[in-house]
Amino acid sequence: MTSDLQHTTVLLDEAVDALLGGAGAAPAGTWVDATFGRGGHSRRILLRLGPQGHLVAFDKDPEAIHEATRITDARFSIRHEGFRHLAELPAGSVAGVLMDLGVSSPQIDSPGRGFSFRFDGPLDMRMDTTRGESVAQWLATAEVQQIAEVIRDYGEERFAGPIAKAIVARREERGPLATTAELADLVAGAVKTREPGQNPATRTFQALRIFINAELEELQQALEASLSVLQPGGRLVVISFHSLEDRIVKQFIAQHSKEVYDRRAPFAPPKVMKLVALDRIKPSAAEVAANPRARSAIMRVAERTEAPA
């Protein structure tokens, strides 16, 4: 069942304006909300689309799928899949793709989902609770080196080694970790210093969530898929919430925003660039004051170039 907890969509107007190209005529064509969440962007897009427009949304979370059933607009459809499945849409069929990479507030604030150290609950963290391995299940068997690599690579945590050793030592002495409170307490004992105002478990929880959901791998797959499905002039709009995501998006846009020459064939025409970088937008001070979870958001906008002849 969908949580009653509320979610405030970050960069709502800015993202929809960037996707649809401003406040012009109601557009037609097929548009994609690649991460439905609680539907804030989707509902606003539908308000702007013309009668010949169609919005396809994706989400792995069963609660998000349930929320999507509240939308009865015939121009809307949703797929219970991760956004890497964007690649299954016909090539050149999409007028714009929006990716909001944030975890929704109901996911974070629901103790049963296990995303937050602020609430004690099962150590799950799966976006799709109908399939795959939970964090607790993975930590019950993973080796010290595996755990350390995940926490270091996805959480940029200096104390990844001591945390991993503490997790395995606890498992051998008293059995596997089962709850978010157990993990948060264990990390607090292993992390000797931390930035002022940040909980010692912040980076570890982020790392385990990213890993168990293969978030960065799926982002890379979805970005590549966008090049295939976007029609010439179609917009790609991506909202990131931490440096690992934004780095991938920034590098992807930069990579495809330049002509590539083959040094082995100096007189051959270059491979044409596939994207044009348009904008980088951060939330206003007023938005951050009203919704502190928006403070780390960065939105990047690019446009698909003309398809090569």
Which DSSP category does 75 fall into? T
3-state secondary structure of 86: helix
96 is in an annotated binding site: no
Query: Cβ neighbours of residue 301 under 8 Å, at least 6 residues apart?
Result: 18, 235, 236, 237, 277, 278, 279, 280, 281
Give Cα 157 distance to the centre of its chain: 20
40 is in an annotated binding site: yes
- For residue 276, the cross-strand partners are 303
Round to whole Å and give the CA distance between 64 and 67. 5
121 is in an annotated binding site: no
Round to whole Å and give the CA distance between 36 and 43. 10
Burial of 182 (0-12, 13-18, 19+ CB in 10 A): middle
Sign of CA pseudo-dihedral 185, 190, 192, 194: negative
Strand positions, DSSP E, 165-297: 230-240, 275-281
Token pair 């044409």 in the structure block, residue:
272
Round to whole Å and give the CA distance between 214 and 231. 28
41 is in an annotated binding site: yes
Whether residue 186 contacts residue 128, with contact meaning beta carbons closer than 8 Å, is answered with no
159 is in an annotated binding site: no
83 is in an annotated binding site: yes
7 is in an annotated binding site: no
Query: Cβ neighbours of residue 217 under 8 Å, at least 6 residues apart?
Result: none
Annotated binding site for S-adenosyl-L-methionine: 39-41, 59, 83, 100, 107
Annotated binding site: 39-41, 59, 83, 100, 107
